[in-house]
Amino acid sequence: MKTLVKTLAGMIAMVSLATAEDKAKSDIVDTAVAAGSFKTLVAAVKAAGLVDALKAEGPLTVFAPTDEAFAKLPAGTVETLLKPENKQKLVDILTYHVVSGKVPAKTAVTLSKATALSKKDIKLEVKEEKLTLNGTAKVTTADVECSNGVIHIIDAVILPPTE
């Protein structure tokens, strides 16, 4: 019986390790799709024509708003942004959530800002022991490893500053 328990425990550990390795092999887009809580983000990435960019070699750091984060936007905002005539605005918003390079949480908490792919700065600070972006969005889950970077899950959509 002890041998059987040890064997089962070993098999479970191997399956867990294989699952973790498979996740690390998935790129940012595939990881977001598999998670199931980023349907709006994935739809926006497709509408903006950014799928290939987020599947590229990278590394990239993505501050990924959940479906619940998008739901906090005023009614009709997402639908309006997904229209073809608003593609550039959507690109600006989405690229504001992406930083070039892999920035793990342990590094991000030491920074006061990060420059997004949109060339605009995201203000970073630690509030109530959570990494916060622009004073509004909190990182709820950090360091989701992907083959081409890392995802930090956030609870609000951040909007680029207007010039």
Domain interval for residue 149 = 27-154
Structure tokens at 74: 């005023």
pLDDT of residue 84: 92
Q: For residue range 39-70, what is the model confidence (pLDDT) as tens digits?
A: 999 999 999 999 999 998 889 999 999 999 99
Whether the Cβ atoms of residue 120 and residue 134 lie closer than 8 Å to each other: no
- Does residue 103 belong to any structural domain of this protein? yes
What percent of the chain is predicted at pLDDT more than 70? 85
Distant-in-sequence, close-in-space partners of 130: CB < 8 Å, separation ≥ 6: 138, 139, 140
- Does residue 59 belong to any structural domain of this protein? yes
Burial of 139: CB neighbours in 10 Å, binned 0-12, 13-18, 19+:
buried
- Does residue 5 belong to any structural domain of this protein? no
pTM of the model: 0.82
- Does residue 54 belong to any structural domain of this protein? yes
pLDDT of residue 4: 37
Domain total for the chain? 1
